[in-house]
Structure 1
Amino acid sequence: MYNLDETDAKILHLLQQDATLKTRELSEKLNLSYTPVYERVRRLEKEGVIRKYVALVDREKVGKKLMAFCNIALKEHSKNMGEKFVKAVTAMPEVMECFNISGDYDFLLKVVVDDMSQYQQFLMQKLGSLENIGSTHSLFVMGEIKNSSALEMLSGKK
């Protein structure tokens, strides 16, 4: 685990709000000189705390109107079969996120597609073609209440 100090936490907070901020802008917002801020950002990148910078796309504006969460139970739980499933699912562009979970199901997929028809095709043709799926259970998002990618870094700090 990387040990964040208050300045690192503030840098991460600012970059999570706007990853396009230049080092000069960060240094102005933090009231620090350019060089220490530059070195801190590079260290956070090198240590893997900052994994990458991305553009967040509004899915509905590009026609991806249906979001579903799909619970998957596998028939067989061998290492080989689990690895095959993970490899296949991570290659599917409709799957935005995949989690290995506990409980009645083994995996939870976040799937984004154009509409119900495309989801049905995804379910029948892509997931249905995988040999080790025992059962699936789909939940459809009716409305997004909160959708954030930012982690809170400053909690409990003054």
Structure 2
Amino acid sequence: MEKIDEIDLNILRILQEDSKKTTKEIAEILNLTPSPVYERIRRLEKRGYIKKYVALIDKDLLNIPITAICMVSLRYHDEGFIDKFEKQIKSLKEVQECYHMAGKVDFFLKINLRSLNEYHEFVRLKLSKIENIGVLESYFVLKEITRTTGYCI
């Protein structure tokens, strides 16, 4: 894959902070003209550095105050069981993030819900229906200290 230069990295930094910045605004920050900035952004998109643009929503304003962290350990670890688990987890809209882990647990899930009762129903009616879960540990976030969607580049 072709390397990117410092200007491209600066464009990525700016867009991570505010993806609604116009090409003209980015060009002004970088002391460039809009045309090459536009071309660079399109190239970064085409090459996959920029996957998509999203809006970050305030979950508290939407009354989604509960963040649960679930640590899942599977009973069996062959490829078929892992693939099936991953496919089933992807179908659960409540799961915001899922990571396959090395270490004591197999998967780390981040789930956001409106209430503890809603979490209980999620576990009882959806998560517990997934085959091959051996151990499920739940932790609840008391306070969000820091959260970012950007990478340190």
| TM-score above 0.5 | yes
1:4-153 alignment to 2 at 5 Å? Answer: 4-153=4-153
The structure-2 alpha-carbon separation of the partners of 1:98 and 1:30, relative to structure 1 and needing over 3 Å to count, comes to: same
Runs of 4 or more off by more than 2 Å in structure 1?
Answer: 1-4
Query: TM-score by structure 1 length?
Result: 0.93
The structure-2 alpha-carbon separation of the partners of 1:85 and 1:2, relative to structure 1 and needing over 3 Å to count, comes to: farther
The one-letter amino acid paired with 2:33 is S
Alignment partners' CA distance in 2, 1:51 and 1:89: 22
Tell me the alpha carbon deviations over residues 44-80 of structure 1, each in whole angstroms, 9 at most, x when there is no partner.
1011111100000011110111001100001111211
Structure 1: which 5+ runs fail to align? 154-158
Number of equivalenced pairs: 153
The one-letter amino acid paired with 1:102 is A
The one-letter amino acid paired with 1:45 is E
Alignment partners' CA distance in 1, 2:2 and 2:133: 37
Aligned-pair Cα RMSD in Å: 1.1
Q: Does the 8 Å CA contact 1:2/1:49 hold for their aligned counterparts?
A: no
Tell me the alpha carbon deviations over residues 86-135 of structure 1, each in whole angstroms, 9 at most, x when there is no partner.
11101111100000001111000011100111111111111100111001
Give the share of equivalent positions with the same residue, in percent: 41
Q: Does the 8 Å CA contact 1:67/1:112 hold for their aligned counterparts?
A: yes
Alignment partners' CA distance in 2, 1:96 and 1:39: 33
The structure-2 alpha-carbon separation of the partners of 1:2 and 1:66, relative to structure 1 and needing over 3 Å to count, comes to: farther
Alignment partners' CA distance in 2, 1:97 and 1:2: 30
Query: TM-score by structure 2 length?
Result: 0.96
The one-letter amino acid paired with 1:16 is Q
The one-letter amino acid paired with 1:111 is I
**Matched residue, 1:156:** none
The structure-2 alpha-carbon separation of the partners of 1:105 and 1:11, relative to structure 1 and needing over 3 Å to count, comes to: same
Higher RCO (C-alpha under 8 Å, 6+ residues apart): 1
The structure-2 alpha-carbon separation of the partners of 1:77 and 1:20, relative to structure 1 and needing over 3 Å to count, comes to: same
Alignment partners' CA distance in 1, 2:113 and 2:4: 38
